[in-house]
Structure 1
Amino acid sequence: MQVQGKYDARAFLAEQMTRAQGLRLKRLSEEAYQPGQYSRDLSSAEAAHRIQVLEAEIELANSF
């Protein structure tokens, strides 16, 4: 991100998925047998959405 010609590292980092999100998403995608749901270059919002969806799918599968 650039702000008035300067690179804004805080804005860039806010957009990227956090390390914790990455680790959680990787574990959940493996647990749900959907490794394609994990990608290193996701935004924080997209990672949060995928985590939520995978958690719901796993919970549903465990309810049977």
Structure 2
Amino acid sequence: MQVQGQFNARVFLAEQMTRAQGLKLKRLSEEAYQPAQYARDLSFTEAARRIQVLEAEIELANSF
């Protein structure tokens, strides 16, 4: 039997980015001059993908 309103961490993490992700994504998007990459309503997975892409872009830019 499942209680209505029960907290499910997997569903929460799949649906909403964490505070740490939000802070990191905001910092990276500003550092990469791409503020549009940050949005408050991103999913956990989408935020992780954008963080990875921005980190790669910044690393590439710093290699020149």
Which interval holds the TM-score relative to the shorter structure? 0.7 to 0.9
TM-aligned CA deviation for residue 58 of structure 1 = 0.2
Structure 1 unaligned regions, length at least 5? none
Matched, 1:35 2:58: no
User: What are the equivalent positions in structure 2 for 1:17-36 lying under 5 Å apart?
Assistant: 17-36=17-36
Q: Which residue of 1 aligns with 2:12?
A: 13
**Count of residues in Structure 1 that have an aligned counterpart in Structure 2:** 60
Q: Which residue of 1 aligns with 2:61?
A: 61
Structure 1 runs (4+) deviating above 6 angstroms are: none
What amino acid is the match of 1:60? L
TM-aligned CA deviation for residue 9 of structure 1 = 3.5
The alignment partner of 2:28 has SS state of helix
Percent of counterpart pairs with the same letter?
A: 73
Instruction: Point out the structure with the larger strand share.
Output: 1
TM-score by length of 1: 0.83
Q: Which has the higher contact order (CA 8 A, sep 6+)?
A: 2
